[in-house]
Amino acid sequence: MPHVAIEDVKAARETIRDIAAHTPLQRAAGLSEAFDAEIYLKLDLEQPTGSFKIRGAANAVACLDEEQKQKGVVTASTGNFGRAMAHAARKLGVPATVCMSRLVPQNKVVAVRGEGATVEICGESQDEAGLRVAELVERDGMTALSPYDDYHVIAGQGTIGLELLDECPDMDVVLVPLSGGGLIAGVALALKDAKPDIRVIGVSTRRCPAMYESLKAGRPVDVVENESVADSLGGGIGLDNRWSFGMTRDLVGPDNVVLLDEDEIRRGMKLLYDVENITCEGAAAVGVAALAAGKIPDVHGKTVVCLVTGKNVDADMFQSIVA
Ligand SMILES: *Cc1c(COP(=O)(O)O)cnc(C)c1O
């Protein structure tokens, strides 16, 4: 399977400059002491729309041709990607539609509408919302964007890796929250191109280990999708995966993916809050959670970067976890 070209990650940095932020890298003094390592946090939760997804979304929308831009973009993602795509599309003057099932909570509908997208409520499940996406592609010539399995999305996410190479050239280990694999594919590509010895480790929830199981099987497989406190790490990788699976297999591999239980993820969120005063969602805390659970070997004395990917967490849920 082909990889995204590193030149396109470098080009993305320029392309997304006015829409996505260059986020801060912060040394975490408390965590460094706790884990006897140099721990840095890449604070991509400080992006507009509150997650790194804006990088890939902005690049994918910007890379459309003029006709595609006129006809607009569509997705069935109700989470961080739907929001990011809506935001990027509005900035670039491209119409955006997000299809959601009737079961999606009202606050998510409001968040996407607030970013200026058209929301289509259709069906009783996200699969039915997905069918509506296919209809809009067929009928109106809209372009469907995948949150993780898209060439330009992966190139956009890779810009985090380029920023890290500038900010922390001595890093030994980078811990990346892993779901569909768009983030880790782009970041691993950028890092390994410059420094092949950097260890890139994916961290997923055991409640939905789609990439982990697919890597073990040697091909994309379906897993049972259970709810998790790391809700942004839910969902499969698509049996027809074109990019993120092959790149994760080649650049990361099954031996560098760690699975966490719910309690471990909650502990990571609480630790980030108690020690570093950071409020983030479950998916964003898995790097710190994996360190706290002792699941990352050989980190003593090493420089470790954790990607803190998003802050879109329900306030009541967060309070109950850190209380
Ligand atoms: C989407 C998402 C991830 C995982 O990214 P993938 O490209 O699907 O692997 C991690 N953290 C947050 C906050 C996300 O929204």
pLDDT above 90 (res 149): yes
Give the pLDDT confidence score for residue 78 in this predicted structure. Answer: 83
SS3 state at 37: coil
Look at the alpha carbons of 311, 122, 235, 82 in this order and tell me if their dihedral is positive or negative: negative
Ligand 1 centroid from CA 195, angstroms: 23
**Measured from the CB, is residue 84 less than 6 Å from ligand 1?**
no
**Measured from the CB, is residue 306 less than 6 Å from ligand 1?**
no
**Measured from the CB, is residue 241 less than 6 Å from ligand 1?**
no
User: Among 13-17, 180-184, 224-228, which stretch is predicted with the lowest mean pLDDT?
Assistant: 224-228
pLDDT above 90 (res 127): no
Q: What is the pLDDT of residues 271-304, one digit of tens each?
A: 999 999 999 999 999 999 999 999 999 999 999 9
Q: Which residue out of 80, 205, 215, 306 has the highest number of ligand 1 atoms within 8 Å of its CB and is therefore the one to mutate?
A: 80
Asked whether 191 and 174 are in contact (CB, 8 A), the reply is yes
Q: Six-digit token pair at 104?
A: 């999606």
Amino acid at 239: L
State the average pLDDT for the chain: 96
**Measured from the CB, is residue 179 less than 6 Å from ligand 1?**
yes
Closest among 12, 4, 39 to 271, alpha carbons compared: 39
Ligand 1 centroid from CA 80, angstroms: 8
Give the pLDDT confidence score for residue 103 in this predicted structure. Answer: 81
SS3 state at 1: coil
Q: What is the pLDDT of residues 27-82, one digit of tens each?
A: 999 999 999 999 999 999 999 999 999 999 999 999 999 999 999 999 998 899 99
**Measured from the CB, is residue 284 less than 6 Å from ligand 1?**
yes
Q: Which residue out of 183, 203, 251 has the highest number of ligand 1 atoms within 8 Å of its CB and is therefore the one to mutate?
A: 183
Task: Give the mean model confidence (pLDDT) for residues 113-129.
Answer: 90
Give the pLDDT confidence score for residue 243 in this predicted structure. Answer: 98
Can you give the length of the chain in residues? Answer: 323
Asked whether 28 and 275 are in contact (CB, 8 A), the reply is yes
Give the pLDDT confidence score for residue 1 in this predicted structure. Answer: 81
Rounded percentage of the chain residues whose pLDDT exceeds 70: 100
Give the pLDDT confidence score for residue 101 in this predicted structure. Answer: 87
pLDDT above 90 (res 105): no
Banded model confidence at residue 104, pLDDT cuts 50, 70, 90? confident
Q: What is the pLDDT of residues 169-183, one digit of tens each?
A: 999 999 999 999 999
Half-sphere exposure of 196 (CA within 13 A, CB side): 1
Give the pLDDT confidence score for residue 312 in this predicted structure. Answer: 94
**Measured from the CB, is residue 283 less than 6 Å from ligand 1?**
yes
Give the pLDDT confidence score for residue 275 in this predicted structure. Answer: 97
Q: Name the phi and psi angles at 238, rounded to 5.
A: 85, 125
Closest among 202, 170, 197, 172 to 186, alpha carbons compared: 202
pLDDT above 90 (res 146): yes
